[in-house]
Amino acid sequence: MAANVVFTPEFKRNLRVLSKKYRHIRDDIEPLIDTLQNGELPGDLVTGTSYTIFKVRVPNRDVQRGKSGGYRIIYYLQTQTDIILVTIYSKTEQADISAAQIWRIVNEFETEK
């Protein structure tokens, strides 16, 4: 079952900003997008929101620092076939994101539709 992967404006904005610093970011996240489109749901479930949200680490080829130097991608399982990429950030620049911030981004996306 193929899933439809959509990006929030927040994800697009963060990706654009990060791509100026990390040239290979689009290549780095492509395998995750392919995995999501194939219906797999990698990562850990995020608690504290009323949505089905997952967080997953993606290695950063531009920074050789292991897991702590990679990216964190937050995605929302809207339906079994619709996956929303909520946000992306570099683990070297931002330690974590709160459930309230995730909820705000998803809520804005849901109301804009």
- β-strands 71-77, 44-46 pairing: unpaired
Query: Is 49 within 8 Å of 103 (Cβ atoms)?
Result: yes
Q: Write the DSSP assignment of 65-107 as a string of letters.
A: SGGGGSEEEEEEE-SSSEEEEEEEEETTT-----HHHHHHHHH
Q: Could you give the percent of the chain with pLDDT greater than 70?
A: 96
For residue 104, pLDDT beyond 90: yes
Give the chain's domains with CATH numbers.
4-112 (3.30.2310.20)
State how far the Cα of 48 lies from the Cα of 101, in Å rounded to an integer.
11
Provide mean pLDDT across the span 21-39: 96
Span 31-81, pLDDT tens digits: 999 999 999 999 999 988 889 999 999 999 998 776 678 999 999 999 989
Q: What is the pLDDT of residue 68?
A: 74
For residue 113, pLDDT beyond 80: no
Helix, strand, coil in percent for the chain, rounding step 5: 40, 25, 35
- Single pTM value for the model: 0.91
Structure tokens at 110: 């849901």
State how far the Cα of 90 lies from the Cα of 79, in Å rounded to an integer.
27
